Amino acid sequence: MLTIDKQITKKEEGSIVTPAGFQATGIHSGVKRKRNDLGIITCDVPANAAAVYTTNVIQAAPLRVTKESIAKDGKIQAVIVNSGNANACTGKQGEKDAYQMRSVTAKQFLLPEHYVAVASTGIIGQVMPMDKIIPSIKRLKPDATDYSVYQFNESVLTTDVSTKSTCYQTTIDGKKVTMAGSAKGSGMIEPNMATMLAFVTTDAVIESDMLQLALNEVTDKTFNCITVDGDTSTNDMVLVMASEKTGHESLTPEHREWDVFVELLRKTCEDLAKMIARDGEGATTLIEVEVNGARNDSEANQVAKSVVGSSLVKTAVYGADANWGRIIAAVGYSKVAVDVNTIDIAVGSVKLLEDSQPLPFVEEEVSRILENETVKIRIDLKLGKGIGKAWGCDLTYDYVRINASYRS
């Protein structure tokens, strides 16, 4: 029997419109000076939906509207997204504008209002320019072409350097199942599933409550394991839509291939999470921290995220400085109980610490590893069987430049 991992294949040319039933597009509405800033994903049937949201207690109006839409009966048929303006901290007017975006989209595509989700990203505290948004919603013409997908992917970006997209396929009950995702995010990624927009589409057959169960599990292993700068956004979410077009038995934890579906979702979300971490504002390096030997997986993830979130670790990677002391310091303040005498640390293939004792190493060799586009740091706590990973990026001069002039 094939392992779960080998049952899932990556579809390099796939996108959010590859799962049956979905279309998308994006256009320039004028909220931003040049780049596309308004996009939409639609489904030809009401799709079962699930979502997770930023942990910031200050949440933007579009999130509240989307929560209300999904709560109605767990279905979404369109998601309207804009960038350039977050519609956050905009009071009653912001709430009115988010509802208007929902109602105009519903009318344009002949949908019940509660079948529309709304998402916004951009500058906080500025009233949405509805005179640009509303006429532009009426110009949206989604389809399933590669060009329209690119237009959508660009429409959700803010300070991102590149678009983010992935697609996987598997079989469930002998039926081909496809899942794909698009995302934005490059700064303010902390502490849990914050500061990004991620949209996942699938043609799997699964009820909304079961989809939410799977998403909650997967989020803890993917989006909750990335950090860029320690800040938390007011806006962002992961939204999953299932068109149920494939005809297999409805998925629940009792289904014999439930684990295959969860892994399909995990792979999709992990790809997007790593792309967001790699695209950190001004970043040049993706940092992956793998922790083994923790007392449980949760503590392993906590240690990994402490290390990858350390500004001193980030700057050491940027400077290709083999300063492993910053790594063990971040382990120590992770608030996880560790044995200070049993810790191993390696950077790439070079072991720097064994049982908390420093090992001789060639500084130039480690520096060359730290100059790679991806740097892997491995930590073994030797306390149990818990494993975890976290992803982040280096901290560069460009991060300061980008954020110092974000509104200008």
Q: For tokens 């949201």, what's the residue?
A: 53
For β-strands 237-242 and 197-202, DSSP reports them as: parallel
* Cα pseudo-dihedral 111, 117, 123, 124, rounded to 10: 110
Which is the catalytic residue, given 158, 170, 195, 202? 195
SS3 category, 137: helix
| Confidence grade of residue 280 (pLDDT, cut at 50, 70, 90) | low
Residue 230 has pLDDT above 50, yes or no: no
Residue 401 has pLDDT above 60, yes or no: no
What does the pLDDT read at residue 247? 92
For β-strands 286-294 and 374-380, DSSP reports them as: parallel
CA–CA separation, 196 and 306 (whole Å): 20
SS3 category, 323: coil
Contact between 81 and 197 under an 8 Å Cβ cutoff? The reply is yes
Please, where in the chain does CATH 3.10.20.340 lie?
A: 286-404
CA–CA separation, 208 and 70 (whole Å): 9
Contact between 357 and 324 under an 8 Å Cβ cutoff? The reply is no
Q: Which distant-in-sequence residues (6+ apart) come within 8 Å of 6 by Cβ?
A: none
| Confidence grade of residue 392 (pLDDT, cut at 50, 70, 90) | confident
What does the pLDDT read at residue 34? 85
Q: Which distant-in-sequence residues (6+ apart) come within 8 Å of 11 by Cβ?
A: 18, 167, 168, 169, 178, 180
CATH tag, 14-278: 3.60.70.12
| Confidence grade of residue 220 (pLDDT, cut at 50, 70, 90) | confident
Residue 138: both structure tokens together: 């009426």
What does the pLDDT read at residue 321? 87
Q: Which distant-in-sequence residues (6+ apart) come within 8 Å of 345 by Cβ?
A: 324, 327, 328, 351, 352, 353, 377, 378, 379
Pick from 260, 67, 38: which is nearest to 132 by CA? Answer: 38
Mean pLDDT lowest among 51-55, 57-61, 207-211, 328-332: 57-61
Residue 171 has pLDDT above 50, yes or no: yes
Beta pairing partners, 288: 376, 391
What does the pLDDT read at residue 400? 59
For β-strands 75-85 and 38-53, DSSP reports them as: antiparallel
Pick from 397, 338, 14: which is nearest to 203 by CA? Answer: 14
Q: For tokens 């998601």, what's the residue?
A: 79
Please, where in the chain does CATH 3.60.70.12 lie?
A: 14-278
SS3 category, 175: strand
CA–CA separation, 73 and 241 (whole Å): 13
Residue 157: both structure tokens together: 């970006």
- C-alpha distances out from residue 26 to 39, 40, 333, Å: 4, 6, 44
What's the Rg (C-alpha) of the chain? 22
Mean pLDDT lowest among 150-159, 263-272, 393-402: 393-402
- Answer with the residue of higher pLDDT: 141 or 408: 141
For β-strands 350-354 and 344-347, DSSP reports them as: antiparallel
- C-alpha distances out from residue 22 to 77, 108, 155, 243, 403, Å: 9, 17, 17, 8, 35
Residue 258 has pLDDT above 80, yes or no: yes
Burial of 43 (0-12, 13-18, 19+ CB in 10 A): buried
Average model confidence (pLDDT) across the chain: 89
Average pLDDT of the segment spanning 55-65: 82
Pick from 238, 164, 165, 255: which is nearest to 204 by CA? Answer: 255
Residue 234 has pLDDT above 70, yes or no: no
CA–CA separation, 51 and 236 (whole Å): 10
Contact between 11 and 178 under an 8 Å Cβ cutoff? The reply is yes
Mean pLDDT lowest among 115-124, 156-165, 251-260, 274-283: 274-283
SS3 category, 43: strand
Question: CA neighbours within 13 Å on the CB side: how many for 408?
Answer: 5
Q: Which CATH superfamily includes the segment(s) 286-404?
A: ArgJ beta chain, C-terminal domain (3.10.20.340)
Q: How far is Cα of residue 359 from the mean position of the Cα atoms in its chain? A: 37
Residue 278 has pLDDT above 90, yes or no: no
Phi and psi at residue 125, to the nearest 5°: 90, 10
- Answer with the residue of higher pLDDT: 348 or 192: 348
Q: For tokens 């390099």, what's the residue?
A: 12
What does the pLDDT read at residue 60? 85
The answer to whether residue 284 is catalytic is no
SS3 category, 247: coil
